[in-house]
Structure 1
Amino acid sequence: MNASAVPVPPLKVAVVTETYPPEVNGVAMTVGRLVQGLRARGHLVTVIRPRQPGDGDVGAGGASAPADRTVAGLPLPGYPGLRFGLPAKSRLLREWRHERPDVVHLVTEGPLGWSALGAARRLGIPATSGFHTNFDRYSVHYGMGFLRPAVAAYLRTFHRRTRATLAPTMALAADLAGEGIPGVKVVGRGVDTSLFDPARRDDGLRAAWGVGEGGLAVLSVGRLAAEKNLPLTLKAFAAIRARRPDARLVLVGDGPLRRGLEERHPEHRFAGVRIGEDLAAHYASGDLFLFPSLTETFGNVTLEALASGVPTVAYRSAAAAELIADGVQGLTVSPGDEDAFAAAAVALALDDAGRPRLGRAARERALACAWEQVVGDFEAVLRAVSAGDGPQPYAAEVAGAAGSLPSAPTV
């Protein structure tokens, strides 16, 4: 028999995460897509996550499957609706001794993730990790910048103990590899282009925002929190409004800054959290997307805006650096240059003839970002690690062959 015809057995994968659908954030959406994609390919995936109100211990409902597990958790300060998982090493040791996964994938670096890493190492189960959030950068925005070196060291220590760390962009992968994290792989992000589609533009929604015929709807989508650099969004929009009195700013999302922003800026539209087709309609009904965040590892909202045919103004970092060619799908400026960001926003706001062209190019760029390819890259890393490929983690007790993973790009 031809070796290529030999069927490849499905993987048993344990995914440990502190956020998962129906929670609304980029990490939850990404993990949900990856899990769904692996299951569609026939792999046996168990999700282990903190228990939410109303959850049972098994079969947590929502996007979960009967094999999924929930563990004890506590509310995450400043993030209502999210919880961090408490350590569950003893329980995981019992369960994984009974039904051993081929590989453990660690999404988050909290207490639950650390305990899962410890259990996997104790049992000699290879583990991979995802680098989803720049928590060290977040500390600066919450008045704890003095903790940034310690947080960065904590993250490096965690990821050095896994066989592979998955990063969504080449730039982030290079940064992580430069910090001494072994086995860094690039596994990007995808977008549902059947959901996020310019065809969902809704004139009735625009009218509800106060945008008349020929008016300009400026969008901001994401968590209303300090790390999203919302003061620059407001500054850029004020510059737009000075030249375009018909412009309206629509902020989609929720967070700790919302109440204060609504009190200080009643002239703006605060749409709150939107999901599914409702969210897609909000994107497609905009004319211009502003995204000034500098804390992203990727920024899924950038890709969703592009798929919706909305030209974007962003700093040249994270997803924008890899998806937006300046002047083609939107405008990008050097990270941290606030004046340049505001000037780019004004320039695009005034370019009524050019925005549709950029919007079409944005849509074309997003069409190349299929989740199927992303899931395939993820699967390839998991399969290689489960087979013993990949660099040795920083731990003498974990056996494994040295080397590099064969599939996803290596830095």
Structure 2
Amino acid sequence: MNERARQEARTDRRFTIGMLAPCPFPTHQGTQVLIRHLAAALSRAGHRVHLVTYGYGEYDEALPFRVHRARRFDAGLRSGPNWTKPAADAAMLVAAHRVVKSEKVDLWHVHNIEGLALGALLKLHARLPLVYHAHNAMGPELPVYFRRHITRVLASKLGDVLDQTLPRAADAVVVFDPDQKTFLEVSGVSPQRVHVIPPGLDGSEVAPADPAEMAKLRERYGGGPWLIYAGNPDPYQNLPLMWRAFALVREKRPDVRLLMVSHHPAAAFAGELNSSGAPGGVVFHQYRDIAELRALLALAEVGLSPRTLWVGAPIKVLNYLAAGVPVVACRSGARHVVTPECGVLVDGTAEAFASGIFRLLLEPLDRDGCRTGFERFSIEAQVPRYEETYAALLRDAG
């Protein structure tokens, strides 16, 4: 949207937004964090947000927006397909219909492909405008959840079909970067309907750290230098690359240690770690709350993101930047996030990844520069762009 169109789209109107999050909520998973921060920022801006989600989450938290829970079908906390998720999604559709009847919703803002499928059904029933927030693309991502070659091929084909059909049902599509916009346009979505809005977070959630909390962790784990991976063990994270790179680092720098920080237990990582043959020097820490995560990030010299999947946004990298942690990331997975002022982009090989780690250990980047690099991903600064998208959509709908 050019500046003139933005001026025309601006409005003081406050919207009532129905939001579909087909996942456990809230959790510490990147997608759920982004959804929570977006819904909270919209609420702080004066909009009414009604979020429809699964019947359970990872923890309880007072939220500044209304959460409508579907009937509980426990599909676990991990990403990827399983046999329970269709039932959980169907229960969400029932809950969303209740919201349509009880609230004067202006539009639906839906997340991920499952949310789009549910939103398309709601659109048939309620005739409300539909905004699809495309966190990923199914063609590239769906195969990573399977191991057998034939299953991966079939998953890729199915993902391609979903990418080329379902987004056309949306009246507007929000993507994270220009590459994803081009991908959707090639798949048949009108360019006028695709809006590029970078992923946004509330950076204050991970900074600054409590010195007392940091002191406890230093006493527990000792000195570094520390690398950190703060994320989940899902296949799209490409963790085997990180294990191999860390092994190369330890050959030359046995003093370097890797802190694996997650809301998942160590057992979720251990099988993959053992099969990949990573050396010692790895410490697993299942954090209990955000205050502890802040302190863990503050201990680290370098944050790691081995993800090579080209579509989507590595939320962990945004957390690193907000906390002032320089980043080594694969170019294909973080090219729209990491700049030379806040990290190093490398090819997706163990040798290149290890080289990037050595570079930042030898030539540390300024932590304040990393925090400055985060500013363009501040969710507060992005709220007007969502408001513009909503206003233009409702104006076009008459």
- TM-score with structure 2 length normalisation? 0.82
* CA shift for structure 1 position 387: 2.0
Q: 2: CA distance between counterparts of 1:298 and 1:309?
A: 18
Q: 1: CA distance between counterparts of 2:165 and 2:312?
A: 18
* CA shift for structure 1 position 161: 0.3
Within the alignment, does 1:300 sit opposite 2:321 as a pair?
Answer: no
SS in 2 for 1:166: strand
Greater displacement, 272-281 / 246-255 = 272-281
Alignment map for 1:9-408 (pairs within 5 Å): 9-19=13-23, 21-52=25-56, 62-64=61-63, 67-76=66-75, 79=78, 84=85, 85-87=88-90, 89=93, 92-93=96-97, 95-97=99-101, 99-110=103-114, 113-141=116-144, 142-143=146-147, 144-146=151-153, 147-182=155-190, 183-197=193-207, 202-211=214-223, 215-253=224-262, 254=264, 257-261=268-272, 267-295=281-309, 297-318=312-333, 320-326=334-340, 328-334=341-347, 336-349=348-361, 351=362, 354-357=363-366, 359-388=367-396, 400=397
Greater displacement, 165-174 / 45-54 = 45-54
RMSD: 3.1
* CA shift for structure 1 position 167: 0.9
Residues 262 and 270, structure 1, Cα contact 8 Å, conserved in 2: no
* CA shift for structure 1 position 74: 3.1
Residues 22 and 63, structure 1, Cα contact 8 Å, conserved in 2: no
Q: Among all aligned residue pairs of Structure 1 and Structure 2, give the percentage whose two residues are the same amino acid.
A: 21
* CA shift for structure 1 position 301: 0.9
Q: 1: CA distance between counterparts of 2:218 and 2:295?
A: 10
**How many residues are paired up?**
370
Q: Relative to 1, partners in 2 of residues 1:221 and 1:239: Cα closer, same or farther, differing over 3 Å?
A: same
Q: Relative to 1, partners in 2 of residues 1:206 and 1:244: Cα closer, same or farther, differing over 3 Å?
A: farther
Q: 2: CA distance between counterparts of 1:307 and 1:98?
A: 39
* CA shift for structure 1 position 80: 8.8
Q: 2: CA distance between counterparts of 1:10 and 1:198?
A: 32
Opposite residue 228 of structure 1, the aligned amino acid is: Q
Q: Deviations over 1:302-340 (max 9, x none)?
A: 11111222111111234x3123224x3211123x34432
* CA shift for structure 1 position 386: 2.0
Q: 2: CA distance between counterparts of 1:269 and 1:184?
A: 42
Unaligned segments of structure 1, at least 5 residues: 56-60, 389-399, 402-411
* CA shift for structure 1 position 276: 1.3
Residues 15 and 105, structure 1, Cα contact 8 Å, conserved in 2: yes
SS in 2 for 1:323: coil
Q: 2: CA distance between counterparts of 1:48 and 1:355?
A: 44
SS in 2 for 1:195: helix
Residues 21 and 29, structure 1, Cα contact 8 Å, conserved in 2: no
Residues 342 and 370, structure 2, Cα contact 8 Å, conserved in 1: yes
Q: Relative to 1, partners in 2 of residues 1:205 and 1:135: Cα closer, same or farther, differing over 3 Å?
A: farther
Residues 116 and 166, structure 2, Cα contact 8 Å, conserved in 1: no
Q: 2: CA distance between counterparts of 1:218 and 1:247?
A: 7
Q: Relative to 1, partners in 2 of residues 1:378 and 1:340: Cα closer, same or farther, differing over 3 Å?
A: same
* CA shift for structure 1 position 292: 0.9
Greater displacement, 67-76 / 377-386 = 67-76
Q: Deviations over 1:92-131 (max 9, x none)?
A: 4465255441111111322x65233212233321101111
Q: 2: CA distance between counterparts of 1:299 and 1:293?
A: 8
Q: 2: CA distance between counterparts of 1:381 and 1:227?
A: 30
Unaligned segments of structure 2, at least 5 residues: 1-7
Q: 1: CA distance between counterparts of 2:222 and 2:229?
A: 16
Residues 198 and 309, structure 1, Cα contact 8 Å, conserved in 2: no
Opposite residue 196 of structure 1, the aligned amino acid is: V
The structure whose residues are more often helix, as a share, is 2
Q: 2: CA distance between counterparts of 1:360 and 1:54?
A: 32
Residues 241 and 247, structure 1, Cα contact 8 Å, conserved in 2: yes
Partner of 1:394: none
